[in-house]
Chain A
């Protein structure tokens, strides 16, 4: 029983953080808002070089062959930097989905993914829209009980403007064909289910970084901003707000890290563990957004103040890959109506480890 990350995992995280502090500043995020695609090819190439895009790609396909345990801290850093590029869709969800599909699809696409030469995106019934379909080379899309791999040229995209100027969401119109069929029946359902869990876990991990960044912004502002001849951070009204955010983040972290283990190991409680992580991390992030916004006063209501970069990301991640209500309902169905309540570590429901 050891909840700690390895030195290698922590070193990877800190080198990524340093790289993103240079390459993905608030100014850089804002600059991407103004471009047609909203995405930076240069940053994508750097992420490939750092190994981020091939983390879950098997070594035989040119990746690092790692697991969700190794990805969770990486995603946290992407949230902290508010990275606009589709690492979640490509590296955290699309790549392992292709790995599971195997065959020519995996052989063709995975080396390109690891090398930064292909972008993936994934559709799912919980999401009415598909993120980053405009830059994706291959779209993995569900249709009834089938999973299809659709080249972008074969789909029509209708963009849906979003609150987060970094978001690129699309309605995807497409026609299933025999040539695009990748899996069907139970196998396809199983793959879509685990894809959802990987994606929800990835949202939760990013939310940790998003929430921490907002808390840091709030603390910095409270130390700088003077009213009544003193820093507003010296007032208990402000302190207690920010302390509440610190509690939320502190308690969300191990929940997300455990969910990463649950997905990596495919344990029977995987779905509930992931929903737990998504709900807890989203609650922490939206609490941080609301609180830090209040701490900033009118300044936080402006476009100019960087805070909204992360506020809007927090709101977006909360409603994608299953809303909090969806995930809580999934927990309730398992725990209240199913074979729960079990208790982590202590004692378990029949049939659970």
Chain B
């Protein structure tokens, strides 16, 4: 065990830090779940890509820097430290990108990855349907092959970023006689084409972070199929693994929240419930725990290991930690916890309420934590299937 950085890694950190200092917008951008904020965040993705910082761990040919996981962690630490904008294209860069690299043809990689890296294409997810939530294998939306196209029908829902995105990735039933996770195909669908209707859904914060998407004989070229026909479940599971696992939720995000929480505690300590001191301490320790676990995992991955069902452990930990941190912050704010950021006397309420509402979704999306517990118990602990 050697828990120190090489001079090259420290130099990389310095390079990231300098670039971000020069480029991060001084005034925070509007939420990317509003029309104007979405475009502002797209512009930021373009700025990032001009410095080749939008997808640092991707190969150079697709717009990345080909850095390893450790350098990716360093980048993320600096990114959150700099208070840089949220990543509007995280569905693309962190989830679909790695899936394309694993399952895509050379043509698909060349066609989609560079546009993803520079924000030209922003991606939405299309997994859930009204009757296929936790039971994702109950998917009914269909894709029927017709010449050199698929014809899509049915409905997807809870499509994250769906309200404003350019493209959607998801799985569709291509074999009409199939059941459950057989006969599904992973397809990349343009959202702006004919036969596709997007109906934004307002979330708890009133913004349209996700959408329902309806397909009525929407035609999508066969070359937009990712991976083998009828074998989309396997491709989707790889994407879900990226979502639950390392890439989407880097530890720096939570270390940054923990740091802000400690600062809030110091401001509120004189009047706050004394038991919150312990809650804040736990929150800081949890963020550190998550960081250590991530570095531990990265060490194993860099030595040739792999991450499978272990991603479910990860998802439970970060989602519960995030919620606990925000609950603690609201408890510290006391009677002002219900104020929105823009309230005339909001004082130091900051983004905690928004953050809390976002954190509430954590135990639900990317597979509910109940589903993750099933995965852990059946695949890691080898308990019998129910």
Distance of A279 Cα from B377 Cα, bound (Å): 25
User: In A74-121, which residues have CB < 8 Å from any B CB?
Assistant: none
For the complex, is A346 an interface residue (Cβ under 8 Å from B)? yes
Interface membership of chain B positions 1-21, coded 1 if the CB is closer than 8 angstroms to chain A and 0 otherwise? 111111001000000000000
Q: Could you tell me if B1 and A257 are in contact, using CB atoms closer than 8 angstroms?
A: yes
Q: Could you tell me if A251 and B317 are in contact, using CB atoms closer than 8 angstroms?
A: yes
Q: Could you tell me if B373 and A240 are in contact, using CB atoms closer than 8 angstroms?
A: yes
B265 partner, pick from A2, A69, A279, A336, beta carbons under 8 A:
A336
Q: Could you tell me if B292 and A344 are in contact, using CB atoms closer than 8 angstroms?
A: yes
Across-interface contacts of A223 in B (CB, < 8 A): 382-384
Across-interface contacts of A233 in B (CB, < 8 A): 377, 383-384
B1 partner, pick from A5, A234, A347, beta carbons under 8 A:
A5
Distance of A4 Cα from B70 Cα, bound (Å): 14
Interface membership of chain A positions 203-244, coded 1 if the CB is closer than 8 angstroms to chain B and 0 otherwise? 000000000000100010011000000110111101110111
A239 partner, pick from B81, B259, B300, B374, beta carbons under 8 A:
B374
Distance of A215 Cα from B288 Cα, bound (Å): 24
Given contacts A5-B1, A328-B278, whether A234 and B262 have CB atoms under 8 Å apart is no
Q: Could you tell me if A341 and B258 are in contact, using CB atoms closer than 8 angstroms?
A: yes
For the complex, is B313 an interface residue (Cβ under 8 Å from A)? yes
Distance of A118 Cα from B2 Cα, bound (Å): 33
User: In B255-281, which residues have CB < 8 Å from any A CB?
Assistant: 255, 258-259, 262, 265-266, 269, 277-278, 280-281
Distance of A280 Cα from B316 Cα, bound (Å): 16
Across-interface contacts of A258 in B (CB, < 8 A): 3, 292
The smallest beta-carbon distance between B285 and chain A, in angstroms, is 6
Bin the interface of chain A by size: 35 or more
For the complex, is A270 an interface residue (Cβ under 8 Å from B)? no
Given contacts A331-B281, A344-B288, whether A235 and B386 have CB atoms under 8 Å apart is yes
Given contacts A2-B2, A239-B383, A328-B281, whether A254 and B293 have CB atoms under 8 Å apart is yes
Across-interface contacts of A331 in B (CB, < 8 A): 281, 284-285
Given contacts A276-B289, A280-B289, A341-B258, whether A332 and B281 have CB atoms under 8 Å apart is yes
Q: Could you tell me if A336 and B293 are in contact, using CB atoms closer than 8 angstroms?
A: no
Interface centre among A230, A242, A247, A255 (most CB of B within 10 A): A247
Distance of A134 Cα from B259 Cα, bound (Å): 47
For the complex, is A145 an interface residue (Cβ under 8 Å from B)? no
Interface membership of chain A positions 21-65, coded 1 if the CB is closer than 8 angstroms to chain B and 0 otherwise? 000000000000000000000000000000000000000000000
Interface centre among A2, A222, A260 (most CB of B within 10 A): A2
Q: Could you tell me if B266 and A261 are in contact, using CB atoms closer than 8 angstroms?
A: no
For the complex, is A303 an interface residue (Cβ under 8 Å from B)? no
Across-interface contacts of B61 in A (CB, < 8 A): none
Interface membership of chain A positions 333-353, coded 1 if the CB is closer than 8 angstroms to chain B and 0 otherwise? 001100011011111000000
Q: Could you tell me if A236 and B386 are in contact, using CB atoms closer than 8 angstroms?
A: yes
Q: Could you tell me if A251 and B293 are in contact, using CB atoms closer than 8 angstroms?
A: yes
Distance of A351 Cα from B252 Cα, bound (Å): 21
Q: A1-B295, A331-B285, A341-B259 are in contact. List 20 more A-B contacts (CB 8 A).
A: A2-B1, A215-B381, A234-B384, A242-B381, A242-B383, A243-B316, A243-B372, A243-B373, A250-B313, A251-B290, A254-B289, A261-B1, A276-B289, A332-B278, A335-B284, A336-B277, A343-B291, A345-B295, A346-B81, A346-B291
